[in-house]
Structure 1
């Protein structure tokens, strides 16, 4: 977990520039003291970052430093297909994975383009569920998604409005 957090700090600083310890702590859901220890570890490991105290202070990477730690994991690549739908991503247990994938992509972009992506993300939110509606529970969504991602068939039973009301079907998984 700590190694992942160190990489996240590095990618956050690369993607956003100067960030305070409090901003990093909030983003990574840890204490400010943990951020101080992690930044010290990064500095000891030779990562060229520095911190400024004061009102306009914060941590940032030395100008021109870019890391190549932006390779996507398989789960992150899957989560990207749901990037416009954070609700389903969270229901599949991929909410934090989606955030990590988006951070890696933003860190890999040239600064001008990363700023544009940041502006879009801060201004738009897609709420795919119906307004004023009650969300349906989706207890089997992870199992269905797993079958689709791994090309496996599913046996399902559903009820429809006309005879025969109870129907059994075999759904074929997506080919690999």
Structure 2
């Protein structure tokens, strides 16, 4: 375990340059004290690294030093081939580059690891888009990706759901996120980072102006916070319900040992919950709120009368 961690620490310094002990500890998921011990062990083994004190300090390798510890294990080779998404790369204009890279990677692997990688390609396929919907038309995706890579400010005309429906903005494209088959641009502006659906970009112009991403911005961290905030704003109420074992399974609630399960579930609104709960049919009994129960009862009476004819 420690040997693997030492290799990872060394590769982090090689690929990223100067890193503080705290940054290394966060990457390796260990304590700062452990990082100190690991750095001492690498130095004792003859690895030319040194530390710099002060606010801008940290550990780094001597300029020009490159480790040869870049061989992939079987598990790492599997992960690399599993993470390669041909469809996604093609959308970003990198399909040919990915195919070439995979050929080079496969050729560099030992025979056993190559066999593992081949089995991954034979047995696993990631199809990101959801069911019951065509893929979004994203004619500006390649241009957006190019601006993200080049760190160039863009001016875009964008269509949104509220008035005014069409707006023009100048933003700094920090990164792209693929969520459930849909591309989102995370871009900085006067009010901080915001998300834009790439398929709703009507026109885009890449400017000559370069920008710098704030040093405290992390795309994965920001996106996780954005999703948490979205879910918190989405579910503003609760409903008290009783569920059959099948209803509990379909709603993702842990069922009771037998019979009905009572649960308090989050809802977006009475209107939304009405449509969602109707799908469960007789597998759900809504107890509260009263207006939702009354709404479902009225719908049930209407349906009964219609099908009784």
Normalising by structure 1, report the TM-score: 0.51
Q: How does 1:8-157 map to 2 (within 5 A)?
A: 8-83=8-83, 123-128=175-180
Q: Matched residues in 2 for 1:125 and 1:71: separation?
A: 30
Q: Distance in 1 between matches of 2:78 and 2:36?
A: 33
Deviation at 1:51, TM superposition (A): 0.3
Task: Name structure 2 gaps, 5 residues minimum.
Answer: 86-104, 106-147, 152-173, 183-226, 232-251, 253-309
RMSD of aligned Cα (Å): 3.0
| Cα separation, 1, equivalents of 2:16 and 2:34 | 20
Q: CA 1:82–1:128 in 2, change beyond 3 Å: closer, same or farther?
A: farther
With a CA cutoff of 8 Å and minimum separation of 6, indicate the structure with the bigger relative contact order. 1
Whichever structure has more strand as a proportion of its residues is 2
> Unaligned stretches of 5+ in structure 1?
86-104, 106-115, 138-176
**Contact 1:84-1:126 at 8 Å conserved across structures:** no
Residues 13 and 60, structure 1, Cα contact 8 Å, conserved in 2: yes
Q: Are the equivalent residues in 2 in contact too, given 1:19–1:58 (CA < 8 A)? A: yes
Q: Distance in 2 between matches of 1:75 and 1:128?
A: 26
- Cα distance in 1 between the residues matched to 2:58 and 2:3: 21
Describe the SS at the equivalent of 2:59. Answer: strand
Q: Tell me by how many angstroms 1:54 deviates.
A: 0.8
Partner of 1:124, secondary structure, is strand
Corresponding pairs, count: 101
Residue 57 of structure 1, CA deviation: 0.2
**Structure showing greater Rg:** 2
C-alpha change, 1:30 and 1:129, in structure 2 (3 Å) is farther
Query: Are the counterparts in 2 of residues 13 and 19 from structure 1 also a CA contact under 8 Å?
Result: yes
Describe the SS at the equivalent of 2:60.
strand
